[in-house]
Amino acid sequence: MRPNDRAGSNLMRRQELELLAAKIRRNVLDICMQRGGYAGQGVALADIAACLYFDELRDDTKGWFHDRFVLSNGHDAIMCYGALAEHGSYTMEELRTYNADGTKVDQSPIEGQLGFEITAGSLGQGPSQAAGIAYGERLKGSDKRVYCLFSDGELQEGNVWEAAMFASHHQLSNLVYIIDNNDLGATGSTTDTLGVEPVPEKFEAFGFAARRINGNNIEEILNAFDEARQIHDKPYVLICDTRLFVGIDCLRAVLPMAHYVAAKDADWEAGLTEINAKITSLTNRL
């Protein structure tokens, strides 16, 4: 399986991406079980990561991506790490230093680290930068598309809505926002702290084409990306409903609301066993 390999039937394409998503989940656990981390988000976002990195972003023929990905929600870097390990741009050995003193693999990376276009731990600053990149790429006459991942928590920041107004005013149809809509912030459910819904309607009112999907359904994710490419007069927002740890049931059961995870050894081991069994069965199916 290579990035952007659209050959083969839709079923093949989906099954390969499901296997990649399972491997991303395994990588996320492997990394986070060393010293803790944002495992729940990494696991939940594995399907989006598989579709994005291994299907949607086009290859630049130099081992990297032609299209641009902007991670706004810094701590979701764990999703990128899980995927970039499969891509071959990071080794698991490097990634296992995540959260260690002196590591080069930041939990929320700084601009310039491989795979990260912006410094993103101060949340809510990605959507505007992605819009600026999309504006600049279009001005240059480039065909690059710009994808920006951010979270429901970030929707509480005014900066995000300033970005939305700008992107639609400039009809940035080369811009796709992907929202991890997991009803969770640092303190608990965003429904309780400060409700963000209805998300699609808000973006539609701002002039976006909006699509709400199950963020763990590969077919829905791929269809949405296909749809986004057909729209030429407005930006696109993909609202992905997710929940922490979807895809690893035993961890989802014990850590349903853990924004940051320092799990017990036994829980990590159980999670690894579950995901390894899944990888075996998905591999056999291909």
Partner 1 sequence: MKLCSDLLDADSRTFDDAPFDTISYELCSRRSDVIMVSADLSKYTQMHSLKKKLPDQHLEVGMAEQNLISVAAGVSKAGYIPIATTFACYATRRAYDQMLICMGTSPLTNIVIGFTPGIANPARIHHQAAEDLGMIRAIPGATVIDPMDVTEFDQALNTAVDTPGLVYMRGHRGNTPRLLDPAAYTFQLGKTYQLRAGKGIGILSTGHATQWALEASAKLEHRDVEHSLLHVPTIKPVNEDEIAEFCFAHDQVVTIENHQIVTGLGSLVAEIVSDIGRGPRITRLGIPNRWAPGGTLPYIRKQLKLDADQLADQIVDVL
Ligand X SMILES: Cc1ncc(C[n+]2csc(CCOP(=O)(O)OP(=O)(O)O)c2C)c(N)n1
- Give 218 or 261: the residue with its C-beta nearer to ligand X: 261
Given 115, 124, 247, 271, the residue binding ligand X (CB under 6 A): 124
Q: Are 85 and 92 spatial neighbours (Cβ–Cβ below 8 Å)?
A: yes
Given 79, 184, 196, 244, the residue binding Mg ion (CB under 5 A): 184
Q: Which residues bind partner 1 (CB under 8 A)?
A: 74, 100-103, 106-108, 110, 119-124, 153-154, 156-158, 185-188, 190, 193-194
- Give 122 or 273: the residue with its C-beta nearer to partner 1: 122
Q: Strands 236-241 and 146-151: what pairing?
A: unpaired
182 binds Mg ion (CB under 5 A): yes
Given 127, 153, 200, 247, the residue binding Mg ion (CB under 5 A): 153
CB contact burial 213-244 (16+ within 10 A = b; e otherwise):
bebbebebbbebbeebeeeeebbbbbbbbbbb
Q: In angstroms, give the least distance from the CB of 282 to partner 1.
A: 35
Q: Give Dmax (Cα) for the chain.
A: 53
Q: In angstroms, give the least distance from the CB of 257 to partner 1.
A: 11
Q: Are 57 and 69 spatial neighbours (Cβ–Cβ below 8 Å)?
A: yes
Question: Which string of DSSP letters, residue by residue, matches 119-170?
Answer: --SSTT-HHHHHHHHHHHHHHHT----EEEEEETGGGGSHHHHHHHHHHHHT
Residue indicated by tokens 């032609």? 66
Candidates 53-61, 84-92, 183-191, 271-279: pick the segment binding ligand X (CB under 6 A).
183-191
Q: Which does 73 bind (CB under 5 to 8 A by kind): partner 1, ligand X, Mg ion, none?
A: ligand X
Given 120, 123, 164, 240, the residue binding ligand X (CB under 6 A): 123
273 binds ligand X (CB under 6 A): no
182 binds ligand X (CB under 6 A): yes
- Give the C-alpha separation, 157 to 124, whole Å: 6
Residue numbers at the binding site for ligand X (CB under 6 A): 41, 73, 75, 121-124, 151-154, 182, 184-186, 259
